[in-house]
Amino acid sequence: MMGLIGMGNNPMVGATVAVAVAVEEAMRAKKVVITKPDLK
């Protein structure tokens, strides 16, 4: 959402934010997957 809003004002900033959010979400997903076996 923030990325889409940023794209209207400044394409470069919007794209950078969108990529950063995507990377952060991917990192969180990996951490969750890695954490599940530890809980077991």
Asked if 3 and 16 touch (Cβ cutoff 8 Å), the reply is no
User: Is 7 strand, coil or helix?
Assistant: helix
User: What is the predicted pLDDT for the residue at 34?
Assistant: 58
Full-model pTM: 0.45
Name the residue range of residue 9's domain. 2-39
User: What is the predicted pLDDT for the residue at 28?
Assistant: 81
pLDDT tens-digit series, residues 2-40? 545 555 666 677 778 778 888 888 878 776 665 566 655
User: What is the predicted pLDDT for the residue at 25?
Assistant: 84
User: What is the predicted pLDDT for the residue at 21?
Assistant: 81
Gap between the Cα atoms of 4 and 33, Å rounded = 28
